[in-house]
Amino acid sequence: MKSPFPKLLATALLLLCGSALTQSAHAADLHVMNSGGFTAAYQLLAPKFEAKSGDTLNIAYGPSMGNAPEAIPNRLARKEPADVVIMVGYALDKLIAEGKVIPGSRVELADSRIGMVVRAGEPKPDIGSVEAFKKTLLDAKSVAYSDSASGVYIRNELFEKMGIEAQMKPKATMVPKFPVGSVVAKGDYQLGFQQVSELLPVPGIEFVGKIPESLQSVTRYAAGIPVSAAHPREARQFLDLLASPEAASDVASTGLDPLAAH
């Protein structure tokens, strides 16, 4: 009598191969567009989603607004593939109003505050109060800020609110494309301002702190699914992870204030 084990083994192998093929057939190749402030959090959470779902995430980075070719609205206008967009909330709302992102897909992710850096090894100026912060700005030889939400606020509102717009205009520069911390690290500018989550990962700088809360501009990050998404179901699963309580500790570790409870 022949042993049944070879036949059972062959059947088991066929079942395993079939299961693997089924999983592979259902795995999605998702395209994600991500704005700078959520980058560090994305890099922590993306591998966890890929491991859990079997899907693959392809990332394209760019600011939430502006004229740069890499800006998310400009990428969408060129019809670059996108299943998920992660960006400043009011910029996402504009895309929803323009019919480019599914309205019901919007999820709130985190709040981001503006921080200040100096080059590594340089003294950390006092920004602990409004008056100290004002003196630090007036004493600075040069100041850099980003071309995204935080920089737009600094240029259009902050200096005017502090009554120092005229004094800052000749020495304050909006830096497109590059992280503000990188130009401060090279010594091109004395002070640099950007969202905290975009400053912390940059080498060669010292994080001084967040600007005073009464002068703060809080940027809300949100995410949504473009109407052209090839994989809306899998995109929704990814958004659910980003906004989940399980993701909150990773989000907080990058300098953002998560909206989901831990």
**Residue 177 pLDDT grade (very low, low, confident, very high; cuts 50, 70, 90):** confident
Each residue of 91-107: pLDDT tens digit?
999 999 999 999 999 99
Domain boundaries, the chain: 28-111+220-258, 114-215
**Residue 262 pLDDT grade (very low, low, confident, very high; cuts 50, 70, 90):** low
Q: What is the pLDDT of residue 14?
A: 44
Q: What is the pLDDT of residue 26?
A: 73
Mean pLDDT of the chain: 90
For 24-32, what is the mean pLDDT?
82
Each residue of 112-165: pLDDT tens digit?
999 999 999 999 999 999 999 999 999 999 999 998 878 999 999 999 999 999
Q: What is the pLDDT of residue 116?
A: 98
The three-state secondary structure class of 87 is strand
In DSSP terms, which residues pair with 112 in a beta bridge? 219
Spell out a b/e string for 35-55, using b for 16 or more CB atoms within 10 Å of the CB, else e.
bbbbbbbbeebbeebeeebeb
Alpha helices per DSSP H over the chain:
5-26, 39-53, 72-77, 89-97, 130-139, 149-153, 159-161, 165-168, 180-185, 196-199, 232-242, 248-253
Task: Give percent of the chain with pLDDT exceeding 70.
Answer: 90
Third-level CATH fold of 28-111+220-258: D-Maltodextrin-Binding Protein; domain 2 (3.40.190)
Min mean pLDDT across 10-19, 45-54, 227-236, 244-253 is at: 10-19
Q: What is the pLDDT of residue 163?
A: 98
Residue 261 or residue 72, greater confidence: 72
Tell whether the model's pLDDT for residue 66 goes beyond 90.
Answer: no
Q: What is the pLDDT of residue 103?
A: 94
Tell whether the model's pLDDT for residue 201 goes beyond 50.
Answer: yes
Domain 28-111+220-258 shares a fold with domain 114-215: yes
In DSSP terms, which residues pair with 126 in a beta bridge? none
Min mean pLDDT across 9-23, 81-95, 96-110, 219-233 is at: 9-23
CB count in 10 Å sphere of residue 81:
17
* C-alpha triplet 110, 108, 77: angle, nearest 5°: 105
Q: What is the pLDDT of residue 90?
A: 93
Contacts of 231 (CB under 8 A, 6+ apart): 28, 29, 30, 55, 83
Rounded Cα–Cα distance for residues 261 and 240 (Å): 14
**Residue 4 pLDDT grade (very low, low, confident, very high; cuts 50, 70, 90):** low
For domain 114-215, say whether CATH 3.40.50.300 is its number: no
